[in-house]
Amino acid sequence: MARHTLLIANRGEIAMRILRACVTLGHDFVCVYTTADAQSGHVRLARELGGPDRLFRINSYQDPSEILAVADASQATAVHPGYGFFAEDFRFARRVVERQRPLIFIGPSWTLVRDLGDKINTKRIARAHSVPTIPGSDRPIYDEMEAVELAQTIFAFQQDQGIAEGCVLVKASAGGGGMGIEEVYDLDKFRSVYRRIRNYAKRNLSDEGVLIEQRIFDFNHLEVQVLAERGGKNAVHLGTRNCSVQSLGRQKRIEVAPGFDPASLTYAFDAAGVLDAITRHSVNMSLQVGYDNVGTWEWIVTPRGEPFLMEVNTRIQVENGVSGVTSRIQGRADGADGVDVIAEQIRLGLGEPLGYTQQNVSTTGVGIEYRILAEDPLDRFTPCLGRIEAFGWVAEPWLQVFTQVPTLQLGDEPYEIPMDFDPNLALGIVWGQSLDEARARGVEFLGGLVLQGTDTRGEPLRTNVDFLKNRTQTLLHF
């Protein structure tokens, strides 16, 4: 295979993982960093593995012109966006491949990034391919009569399903971030809520379109990790993940693979059937839209065991490692302790064929990923800024830790938590033969973790380690 130079347009632990994958695959890499981020682990690692000429300082991780200028200066041939920043920016993906000196975008083609990047559009595509989606509208509704009819139908649907208290979600189609969204429990109040949302949308978003959906309570959030090769002819999945432990702002905190564990827990519905259905639907849809890189199909599963497709993430995700540790590819030399999803992504992105089919992929054991953050779970998960003075963990064969924070002992030069970027400090992934073993190892890992520091007010740094430990006991119960 030709030797490529990858520009890693990201920072932190994902940049480090991409960097390691590049080295493993035998490619060159180029890293970027900003002044505020010079202490980050990816800068140290890049200097260690590639030397100072592989590092470029930029003003912003978010300026495409600057990133591409670095790519030209360093003669890079491909760009890896990681997650966040440019990962789901179809304009960047398009620009990368359509400029005069085209580069390879490690990710799906830009048209797919665009089409699946929009939730409403994804819903339409899913429905066109007979994939179940949340009952409700799949396009912005502008007509009041139509909206009322739809709301009526959704209430009737819930009555038929035996849901005692039906609820309809009304949201502005151009909205986001929790604005312009309201729940309606009573059909008589629907009209006034609809008008309120419509007027809000017209005033603030200059688009009157409104979406109307069934509101589903107490659902589980499942994901299917899909790998597909360029050309979109072959696709496999690496099993499911359950990401139901989330913060108040719906940010994931613990991910478990597989999504349900019918072997050791009992469910009110056919859990194995659900897992089978969502993986089947995800892979089928990926083949039908011609999906051509790694991606995640996100599902919600209702308490009655109905899966509905929510969205598709056209990028590598933070929690890719947890699918990696529970998957095995038959006949692969490196397949003994899991699959490196990022290495697979780079390989597929550069145009290599998949080289195996679903029959060669098996899942084994249970993996749990913890996201360790400096935040206060008792106070609405408010992020906590400050410096880390001691950081370390007990190395185990069943444990992987990804972090940009250096291992520190009390008395070392402390690590300042940069305030410009996402607040993740570290990811810890444990693996066990069974759910019980994985949970025990998870508690063991969190117990042995050393994480001390002071926040900006001089008080001890608050972290979510205890929250993670407490929630471990109830994982996958539904």
Partner 1 sequence: MDIDKRTQELAARLTYIRDIFGQRENASMAMLRTRLEEFLEQAPHLGMRELSRQVGMLEELFVLLEGKLESELTPMDRVRIVRHPQRICLKDILENVYDNYTEIGGQDEWSIDPGMLIARATIARRMGKKTVHQSVMVIGQEKGHGQEFRNAGSIKPWGNANALYYMRVAEIENIPIHSYVFTPGAFPVEDYPGAAQQISKNLYVMAGLKVPIISVFSEGGSGGAEAIALADKRLMLSHGYYSVISPEGAAAIEGGLKDKATPELIERCASRLRITAADNLELGFIDRVIQEPPLGARPEHYDFFRQLRREVIRATDEVVDSVDGLGPLRGMAIRRQAKAADPQDIFVRWSLGGGARTKLVDRRFEKFRAMSRTACRDNRSLGARIYSGLEGMLWSAHSTLRHDFLARYKRHLLHMLEALEAELRALRQGVGGPLGKFLGLGDGQQRRLEVPPEALERLTLLSCPEEGACRLEDTWVYVSPKSREDRTLTCPNTPTHGCLDLWGPDLFGEFAGVCSHCGHHFPMEFQWYLYNVFNFAQAYEFNSELESSNPLGYEGFDLKLEQAKRQTGLGSACITFETHIEGVTTVVAVLVSPFRGGTVGAAEGEKIIRAAERAMLKRTPFILYSHGTAGIRIQEGTCGVIQMPRVTMAVRRYIEAGGLYLVLYDTNSFAGPVASFLGCSAYQFAVRSSNIGFAGPGVIRETTGVEVPPKYHRAFSALSRGHIQGIWDRREIKKNLHQALLTMGGKNLYYR
Stretch that binds partner 1, among 130-138, 333-341, 437-445, 459-467 (CB under 8 A): 130-138
Does 98 sit near partner 1 (CB under 8 A)? yes
Contacts of 172 (CB under 8 A, 6+ apart): 179, 180, 181, 197, 198, 200, 201, 205, 207, 209, 210, 211
Does 58 sit near partner 1 (CB under 8 A)? no
What's the number of CA atoms in the CB half-sphere (13 Å) around residue 37?
24
Stretch that binds partner 1, among 113-121, 317-325, 434-442, 454-462 (CB under 8 A): 113-121
Does 91 sit near partner 1 (CB under 8 A)? yes
Which residues in 140-169 contact partner 1 (CB under 8 A)?
Answer: 140, 149, 152-157, 159-160
Q: Which is nearer to partner 1, 32 or 374 (CB)?
A: 32
| Dist. CA 424–CA 42, nearest whole Å | 14
For helices 90-98 and 64-73, angle between their N-to-C axes, nearest 10 degrees: 30
Does 302 sit near partner 1 (CB under 8 A)? no
CB 316 within 8 A of CB 86: no
Does 328 sit near partner 1 (CB under 8 A)? no
Q: Which is nearer to partner 1, 116 or 316 (CB)?
A: 116
DSSP string of 221-279?
EEEEEEEE-TTS--EEEEEEEEEEEE-TTS-EEEEEESS--TTTS--SS-HHHHHHHHH
Q: Which is nearer to partner 1, 1 or 97 (CB)?
A: 97
Q: Is 315 a catalytic residue?
A: yes
From the candidates 230, 315, 371, 462, which is the catalytic residue?
A: 315
CB 23 within 8 A of CB 49: yes
Q: Which is nearer to partner 1, 111 or 474 (CB)?
A: 111
Q: Which is nearer to partner 1, 132 or 406 (CB)?
A: 132
Residue recorded with tokens 């997650």:
83
Among 16, 22, 125, 346, binds partner 1 (CB under 8 A): 125
DSSP helix/strand/coil, 204: helix
Does 127 sit near partner 1 (CB under 8 A)? yes
In the complex, the smallest distance separating the C-beta of residue 158 from partner 1, rounded to whole angstroms, is 10
Tokens found for residue 216: 């589903």
Among 120, 167, 181, 390, binds partner 1 (CB under 8 A): 120
Residue recorded with tokens 């986001």:
176
Residue ranges that bind partner 1, judged by CB under 8 A? 60, 62-65, 91, 94-95, 98-100, 114-115, 118, 120-121, 124-125, 127-129, 132-133, 135-140, 149, 152-157, 159-160, 187, 206
Residues with catalytic annotation?
315
